[in-house]
Amino acid sequence: MSVVVTGATGHLGRLVVEALLDGGLPPADIVAAGRSVEKIADLAARGVRVAAIDYTRPDTLVAAFTGADAVLLVSGSEVGRRVAQHANAIEAAKTAGVGRIVYTSAPRADTSPLILAPEHKATEELIRASGLPFTILRNGWYTENYAGSLEQARATGELVASVGEGLVASASRADYAAAAARVLTSPGHEGKVYELSGDRAWGHAELAAVIAEIVGRPVTYREVTPEEHLAELTGAGLDEGTAGFVVALDGNTRDGLLAETTGELTALIGRPTTPLAEGLRAAA
């Protein structure tokens, strides 16, 4: 079978390609597609087909997708522009006659107040309206999202957040990549929506303790209010928009929107998800 992985020059997409290869899919049956293909020259050297694509240039998408049994549409990174970009990819998949589209969405995207959910909800609606066979992977939080917090704590001895006692059921990118590879290459997933998350939810006091062990110094979780958090972030040089987005995500965590442990990720990959300490240590 032929599989196209978009976003292959990014963290998740590349890991999906690696998982497909590890699972025995012949390199010639994989198209690794992304903007900066020089980043995946090593994959090309291993026999993987490489394609330069741009979500804003539908012609590049049609060329890359033609002949594919399945396309993994890794959601774009440009918040606020993703719906239009994803619409181009979905239309290109229709034009190219793709057998199935697999999309990386967000937890409970159709009902959640998560700040990231609306663009994912809109994309899911476009996929359903396209008439293409589909699978939706609603990926939970990545442990690697806290690599920046780890480095800040290494320097300051503090983990600062406005999440309160909110919990996060994170898993590593490699876990989510393994699930995507499984869905892309095995039958029985058409029309399915998977809510994927880590096996265990943790709080920021535990995160601080894990970081302390990794960086080799005491780390304290300092809980602040959203208002204090916003002031600290803008005082550190972040623009208002970015700082507001970070504070809103912390609010989502505080409200429990990232805490659900469904067991569906473990069921797909056939093993427990990567523990917080192991995943964060690898990220560091």
Query: Where exactly are the structural domains of the chain?
Result: 3-139, 141-171+198-260+274-284
pLDDT higher than threshold 90 for residue 77: no
The structure's pTM equals: 0.96
CATH of 141-171+198-260+274-284, one of 3.90.25.10, 3.90.105.10, 3.10.580.10, 3.10.180.10: 3.90.25.10
Could you give the CA distance from residue 185 to residue 71 in angstroms, rounded to a whole number?
11
Neighbours of 120 (CB within 10 A): 26
Q: What is the mean pLDDT of residues 207-231?
A: 97
Which of the four pLDDT bands, split at 50, 70 and 90, describes residue 1?
confident
pLDDT higher than threshold 90 for residue 79: no
In DSSP terms, 220 is beta-bridged to 158
CATH of 3-139, one of 3.40.50.720, 3.10.180.10, 3.30.70.580, 3.40.50.11440: 3.40.50.720
CA end-to-end span of the chain: 36
pLDDT higher than threshold 90 for residue 127: yes
- Inter-residue contact 109 to 117 (CB < 8 Å): yes
- The reply to whether domains 3-139 and 141-171+198-260+274-284 share a CATH topology is no
**What does residue 92 show for φ and ψ, rounded to 5 degrees?**
-65, -40
- Determine the pLDDT at residue 208: 98
- Determine the pLDDT at residue 30: 98
Phi-psi region of 32 (alpha: psi -120 to 50; beta: other; left: phi over 0): beta
